């Protein structure tokens, strides 16, 4: 099949092996929060930072249909806040500080960490818990402890970072679709 074909086959196999149960629980948590007037916050580093912005945009804008905007914020998007907090408090606090400022009981944090061990994401989870927020973890198979600490977890059945990211992006799109369909009145 060749290197490229093998890579694609592995990505498709990982996606096909994703357990939808965690994703369904995650969508329910997000939809419940939105219906109650809450906000869904996203965070992650690197590719997961880009996915955070992408998924928040799908909810604020639209994913599959025209509808009222859904309250969603990517904690990865404000360069001034990220750099000021990193400079003043350390990078580990860049998302936690924003949750402390913006998060409230009933909101949801969708925390994306391919490895499940990103200090800045783990600190955000701690801040979300302190604020009375629910937590959705999106991670790879090596992020078991991170996944277990969440109210719902979407776990890519791969340890290879590229495949984890591919599966989580597809899962993120499915999450957006389910949330959009669950909050039809918004």
What is the pLDDT at residue 1?
A: 72
- The answer to whether residues 5 and 157 touch, using CB atoms and an 8 Å cutoff, is no
pTM of the full predicted structure?
Answer: 0.96
Q: Domain ranges in the chain? A: 3-182
> What is the arrangement of strands in the sheet containing 40-43, beginning at the earlier edge strand?
72-74, 40-43, 108-113, 134-140, 152-156
What is the pLDDT at residue 31?
A: 97
Give 64's contacts (C-beta < 8 A, 6+ positions apart): 177, 180, 181
Q: With respect to CATH, is domain 3-182 assigned 3.20.20.70?
A: no
Tell me how long the chain is. Answer: 186
Give 99's contacts (C-beta < 8 A, 6+ positions apart): 41, 75, 109, 124, 127, 128, 131, 133
Mean pLDDT per 10-residue segment, the chain (186 residues): 88 89 97 97 97 98 93 98 98 98 98 97 98 98 94 95 95 96 74
What is the pLDDT at residue 183?
A: 87
Beta bridge partners of 111: 43, 137
């Amino acid at each position: 099949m060749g290197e490229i074909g093998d890579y694609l086959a592995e990505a498709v196999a990982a996606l096909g092996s994703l357990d939808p149960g965690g994703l369904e629980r995650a969508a329910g948590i997000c939809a419940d929060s939105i219906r109650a007037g809450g906000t869904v916050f996203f965070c992650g580093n690197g590719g997961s930072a880009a996915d955070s912005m992408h998924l928040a945009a799908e909810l604020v804008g639209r994913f599959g249909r025209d509808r009222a905007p859904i309250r969603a914020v990517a904690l990865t998007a404000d360069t001034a806040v990220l750099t000021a907090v990193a400079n003043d408090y350390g990078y580990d606090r860049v998302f936690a500080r924003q949750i402390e400022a913006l998060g409230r009981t009933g909101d949801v944090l969708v925390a994306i960490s391919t490895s499940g061990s990103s200090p800045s994401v783990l600190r955000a989870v701690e801040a979300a818990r302190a604020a009375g927020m629910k937590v959705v973890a999106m991670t790879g198979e090596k992020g078991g402890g991170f996944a277990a600490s969440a109210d719902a977890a979407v776990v890519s059945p791969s340890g290879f970072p590229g495949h984890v990211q591919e599966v989580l992006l597809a899962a993120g799109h499915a999450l957006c679709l389910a949330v959009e369909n669950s909050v039809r009145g918004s």
